[in-house]
Chain A
């Protein structure tokens, strides 16, 4: 069951709270604002490799480790354990079976299925995403911000080249045959493309007012939202695990 927040603006500068239930108890995790640097460290930590085994291709993708590390680094408070956790040492004691789902909920951003109700603009391309920002009560009801719109200038062939080239970049370990391909992270390119192409957004606020100018958007927009929106601009499609890894 979902509750839409169609009229509210997603408050980028308000603390995020993620609550989960474990058995009879509810645990609430309050976060400091996740900055651009925090998200870049998360993407840098993603391990994405592929190798051939006979005729099969085996892919290894680790997003959990950097996700848990980011949770530990950005927590401000945890409630629900026998006492309130509030220090860096405390946060290292958070159970992995809690930090892992919380890390996933922090990254719950997907292409939107909602259609825009505005007329088509031939001078801009719009990418729409749905996102969870905070979940103050666990369980059945999830509050999603739906149809968050990012309007981009039409990309040039140079922009597309950067996007594809970054997606193909890799290194190989242990020789060129039967070796492991280690994929390069392309989040730096995605963030740069977002900042170069963004014209406007709908659905976001900072300091109680809607984000307006491209400069304000570049400065305040959540970096994870940037990567998902710009991938949708170039792919026009899904944002599954491989997409997230490809952003790394």
Chain B
């Protein structure tokens, strides 16, 4: 049995998936808007597949809340090792996300796939 809060690598992966999913949310909303609301088969095809057990994503959401408070300068009487490692895992996931999906220099929208030559939103050429 794995204690989710102590599985730092799992939390890093879950955080990366959440960042990618957030990036793709707008496109997903548009696709969902174009299909029938009771077409469950189509909806299921569009939904992102989660590679980890549900508990990982819930722990990442807690860590994002916690990190937000730390970034706002709020101090806590004590920070557990799990929380410290978890926040560090978020940062590593964020660095990987930024490397794999850099922002367009003109419109700041994220590159959605590797090797993309121009921005899909403003058509700015990407190096």
Contact = CB atoms under 8 A, between A and B. Distances in A.
B5 A169 contact: yes
Given A161-B76, A164-B62, A176-B56, A170 B51 contact: no
A171 B55 contact: yes
Q: Which among A57, A172, A175 has the highest number of chain B CB atoms within 10 Å? A: A172
B4 A181 contact: yes
B2 interface: yes
Nearest to B61: A168
Contacts of A164: 62, 65-66
A170 B1 CA distance: 10
Of the four ranges (under 10, 10 to 19, 20 to 34, 35 or more), the interface on chain A belongs to: 20 to 34
A2 to B, nearest CB: 35
A181 B62 CA distance: 16
Interface stretch (A13-21, A48-56, A138-146, A222-230): A48-56
B54 A50 contact: yes
List 5 A-B pairs, minimum CB-CB distance, nearest first: A170-B55, A181-B55, A168-B62, A50-B54, A179-B53
Given A169-B59, A170-B59, A179-B2, 17 more contacts: A51-B54, A52-B53, A55-B48, A55-B49, A158-B77, A169-B4, A169-B5, A170-B55, A171-B1, A171-B2, A171-B4, A172-B1, A172-B2, A173-B1, A176-B7, A181-B4, A181-B55
